[in-house]
Amino acid sequence: MSTVHEVQSPGPASVEELLKAADQLPTDQLETFVTQALLLRARRRIPYVPQKEAELLLKIHEGLPEETRARYYALIDKRDEETLTPAEYEELLRLTDEAEEWNVRWIEALTQLAQLRQISLSDLMDNLGIRPPTRE
């Protein structure tokens, strides 16, 4: 007669363990993890988030990939120092277009969510604790 052994999973990871694990993720996976964690927090604050609102919240919290953002600001610094090469100038133009397209999508998603909730854009941003993207 064979017996089945139950495999018990350890208890939930501590915040410290989760942060250590997150620190090991590649940047793109870390961004996905953060977005999913923000959605989890939103679901706990508001038990039911309609699908359309959830999709908009994902877009709002997505952001430019960290590598793109870092490169963009590095090129801006080089431009300000007047050490930008012609190839870097072309790259900066491309990244500027990409950042502007992201900003448009971000504002559109915020506006749509504000309309769905029938509140002003500034009230929505205050409610969600959202500030315009800044250079950090």
How far apart (Å, rounded) are the C-alpha atoms in residues 100 and 17? Answer: 37
114 phi and psi angles, rounded to 5 deg: -60, -40
Q: Are 60 and 83 in contact (CB under 8 A)?
A: no
- Where do the structural domains in the chain lie, given as residue ranges? 17-128
What string of DSSP letters covers 4-26? PPPPPPP-PPPHHHHHHHHHTS-
Q: Give tens-digit pLDDT for 14-39.
A: 888 888 988 998 888 888 888 888 77
Q: How confident is the model at residue 94 (pLDDT cuts 50, 70, 90)?
A: very high
Q: How many residues does the chain have?
A: 136
pLDDT of amino acid 7: 45
